[in-house]
């Protein structure tokens, strides 16, 4: 028995040693030069098991003797996508906002220059907001300082970027307002938007509506955290607003609208329809879009949302520090131009989206926002938040996206029949969704398509 065991052990040792030595031999031999190594595509196809058996066998013979290729395969296998943490997604959001960087190597120098500038600003979004928030708190807690500067408020407000200004409520007017951007720019500070692709796209997306809403909500939230002195300040500012808001607003109204202005986008209407049950978000959005007196009226009627409106109007109307803060990061708002603010039924999760495919998410009712990786660079025009984790977006050139976990967005195939003769897909100006798989989208020509299976099939309605 012992002898049998010994023999078996010996055999196993022998075969182990043999195999090990063979492995060494495989490593030492170089039957193939590196030039004969398969290219990246063959390696990728092999990794995906997309090669036929015969071709796989040929390349496996190579891999057996080629340490380099085995290493590449190993590295490839180890680099399979894993979901990113929220923080990483946020960082990537900023990186993606610099998407035009590689476009810089195209020959369109003019576009390139504008894009680069815009991207540069976008990269500083987070620190700028942080600084602005700190400044807002600091200014609010220093009433004497504010008082000394009060006299300058009109001037400052007049210099503020357009999103600080209470704008006209009508979408058509907003469009024309955007169209008059070049004239507006004369009045703006250095934070004025660039007339590049982003700002051009931003024009019809009601930028003055959503952007200030966010800024005001942030500022109001900051004020909410402040002690009684802030309340005092707020009340004095509210009084001051009545004196300053309207004239300022008038002063900064856009010039006469051009009769050739494009029709109002349906996006805003669609957004508002979408967010109808989402009262708080809508309040913030629509109040921001309305003229100041309207915001005030709403404020009187709607309680807490109204008080926020008041604060917003106050900040906007005449408080110089807030105006400064607005000015400090106003540029970013203009870049992002959220066309939609969506609120999940729970009330705690919100999404906002807009130009250039920007998507942001808040899980604390709008106090903080995290950029999300958007599957498209198209402008988002409409959205539907079904739950805290399921949300749909629809936008220009047939762009549709969906998230099912609240974090990762995936592109949804648009209905092929929606494409015109030139194969161009329409802009989606509205979307309603029941769940993660059932949605109905509305094209800018009024056609509606519904999907019962997450976009695999679409039916014209």
Partner 1 sequence: MPKESPLASLDQFLAQYAHLATELHGEAMCARWGLPPEAFAESLRRSAEKRFGGAQPDPDAVEAYLKSLHHEDLALACACSEGIEQAWEFFIAHFRQNLRNAASAMLRGSGRADDARAEELADSLYAELYGVRSGADGRRKSLFEYFHGRSKLSTWLRAVLAQKQVDMFRTSGRTVSLEAEMEGEVPNELAGRTSSVPADPDRERYVGRFERALSTALANLSPRERMILACYYVDQLTLAEIGRLLREHESTVSRQLERMRGALREGVTHALRRETPASNGRPAEPALDVAQVELAFEYAVEDWPFDLSQALSASGPAADPQEE
107-146: contacts with partner 1 (CB under 8 A): 107-108, 111
Nearer to partner 1, 88 or 231 (CB): 88
Given 8, 36, 50, 263, the residue binding partner 1 (CB under 8 A): 50
- Residue closest to 198 by CA, chosen among 119, 87, 106: 119
258 binds partner 1 (CB under 8 A): no
Q: Is 370 in the site for partner 1 (CB under 8 A)?
A: no
In sequence order, the 6+-apart residues with CB closer than 8 A to the CB of 362 are: 349, 350, 351, 352, 368, 369, 370
| Binding residue for partner 1, selected from 43, 140, 284, 312, defined by CB under 8 A | 43
How many whole angstroms separate alpha carbon 403 and alpha carbon 53?
A: 37
Closest among 253, 248, 219 to 155, alpha carbons compared: 248
User: Per rule CB under 8 A, is residue 262 in the interface with partner 1?
Assistant: no
User: 199 - beta bridge partners?
Assistant: none
22 binds partner 1 (CB under 8 A): yes
Q: Which is nearer to partner 1, 201 or 311 (by Cβ)?
A: 201
Q: Using the rule CB under 8 A, which residue among 106, 183, 229, 279 binds partner 1?
A: 106
By the rule CB under 8 A, 311 interacts with partner 1: no
CA-angle at 133, arms to 130 and 134, nearest 5°: 90
Q: Is the dihedral of CA 283, 285, 286, 291 positive or negative?
A: positive
Minimum Å gap between C-beta 44 and partner 1 is 4
| Residue 417 binding partner 1, by CB under 8 A | no
Q: Does 374 bind partner 1 (CB under 8 A)?
A: yes
In angstroms, give the least distance from the CB of 444 to partner 1: 17
* Strand arrangement of the beta sheet that strand 380-385 belongs to: 380-385, 391-395, 400-403, 409-411
Contact, 139 vs 322, CB < 8 A? Answer: yes
Find the binder of partner 1 among 85, 134, 419, 460 (CB under 8 A): 419
Supply the minimum distance, in Å, between the C-beta of residue 97 and partner 1: 10
Order of strands, edge to edge, in the sheet holding 359-362? Answer: 338-343, 350-354, 359-362, 370-372
With CB under 8 A as the contact rule, the residue among 71, 225, 239, 459 that binds partner 1 is 71
Closest CB 431 distance from partner 1, rounded Å: 20
- Stretch of 45-53, 168-176, 334-342, 443-451 lying at the interface with partner 1 (CB under 8 A): 45-53
Closer Cβ to partner 1, 24 or 231, answer by number: 24
Helix %, strand %, coil % of the chain (to 5): 55, 10, 30
Binds partner 1 (CB under 8 A): choice among 44, 126, 302, 328: 44
Under the binding rule (CB under 8 A), the answer on residue 357 touching partner 1 is yes
Q: What are the distances in angstroms from CA 409 to CA 321, 359, 379?
A: 37, 9, 15
Contact track, partner 1, 51-70, x by CB under 8 A:
x----xxxxxxxxxx-xx-x
Cα 346 from chain centroid?
A: 21
Partners of 430 in beta bridges: 442
Nearer to partner 1, 103 or 131 (CB): 103
Q: Are 65 and 26 in contact (CB under 8 A)?
A: yes
Number of residues that bind partner 1 (CB under 8 A): 83
Mask: binding to partner 1, 77-96, rule CB under 8 A, as x and -?
xxxxxx-x-------x--xx
Q: Does 351 bind partner 1 (CB under 8 A)?
A: no
Torsion of CA 448, 454, 455, 459, to 10 degrees: -40
Our finding on whether 422 is near partner 1 (CB under 8 A) is yes
Q: Is 394 in the site for partner 1 (CB under 8 A)?
A: no
How many helical (H) and strand (E) elements, i.e. helices and strands, does the chain have?
20, 12
Q: Which of 8, 9, 21, 255 binds partner 1 (CB under 8 A)?
A: 21
DSSP letter at 70 equals: H
243 binds partner 1 (CB under 8 A): no
Q: Is 41 in the site for partner 1 (CB under 8 A)?
A: yes
Separation between Cα atoms, residue 411 and residue 71, nearest integer Å: 33
User: Could you give the CA distance from residue 415 to residue 456 in angstroms, rounded to a whole number?
Assistant: 9
Nearest to partner 1 of 172, 408 (CB atom): 408
CA-only gyration radius of the chain, Å = 29
């Amino acid at each position: 028995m012992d002898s049998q065991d010994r023999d078996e052990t010996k055999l196993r040792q022998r075969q182990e040693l043999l195999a090990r030595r063979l492995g060494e031999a495989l490593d030492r031999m170089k039957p193939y030069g590196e030039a004969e190594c398969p290219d990246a595509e063959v390696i990728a196809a092999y990794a995906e098991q997309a090669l036929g058996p015969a071709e796989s066998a040929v390349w496996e013979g190579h891999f057996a003797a080629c340490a380099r290729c085995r290493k590449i395969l190993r590295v490839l296998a180890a680099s399979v996508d894993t979901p990113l943490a929220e923080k990483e997604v946020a960082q990537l959001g900023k990186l993606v906002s610099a998407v035009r960087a590689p476009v810089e190597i195209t020959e369109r120098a003019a576009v390139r220059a504008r894009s680069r500038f815009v991207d540069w600003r976008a990269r500083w979004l987070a620190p700028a907001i942080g600084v602005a928030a700190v400044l807002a708190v600091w200014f609010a807690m220093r009433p004497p300082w504010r008082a000394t500067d009060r006299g300058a408020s009109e001037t400052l407000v007049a210099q503020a970027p357009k999103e600080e200004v209470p704008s006209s409520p009508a979408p058509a007017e907003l469009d024309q307002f955007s169209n008059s951007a070049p004239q507006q720019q004369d009045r703006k500070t250095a934070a004025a938007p660039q007339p590049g692709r982003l700002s051009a796209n931003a024009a019809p997306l009601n930028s003055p509506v959503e952007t200030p809403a966010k800024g005001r909500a942030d500022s109001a939230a900051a004020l909410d955290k402040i002690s009684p002195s802030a309340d005092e300040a707020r009340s004095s500012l509210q009084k001051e607003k009545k004196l300053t808001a309207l004239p300022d607003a008038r002063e900064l109204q856009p010039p006469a609208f051009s009769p050739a202005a494009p029709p109002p986008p349906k996006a805003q209407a669609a957004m508002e329809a979408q967010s109808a049950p989402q009262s708080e978000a809508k309040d913030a959005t629509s109040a921001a879009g309305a003229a100041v007196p309207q915001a005030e009226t709403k404020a009187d009627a709607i309680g807490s949302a109204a008080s926020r409106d008041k604060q917003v109007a106050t900040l906007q109307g005449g408080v110089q520090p807030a105006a400064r803060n607005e000015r400090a990061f106003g540029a970013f708002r203009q870049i992002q131009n959220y066309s939609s603010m969506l609120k999940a039924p729970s009330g705690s999760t919100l999404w906002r989206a807009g130009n250039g495919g920007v998507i942001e998410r808040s899980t604390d009712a709008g106090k903080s926002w995290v950029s999300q990786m958007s599957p498209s660079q198209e402008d988002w025009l409409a959205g539907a938040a079904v739950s805290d984790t399921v949300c749909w977006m629809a936008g220009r050139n047939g762009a549709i996206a969906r998230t099912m976990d609240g974090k990762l967005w995936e592109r949804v195939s648009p209905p092929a029949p929606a494409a015109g003769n030139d194969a161009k897909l329409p802009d989606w100006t509205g979307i309603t969704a029941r769940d993660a798989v059932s949605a109905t989208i509305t094209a800018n020509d009024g056609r509606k398509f519904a999907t019962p299976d997450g976009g695999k099939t679409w039916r014209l309605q």
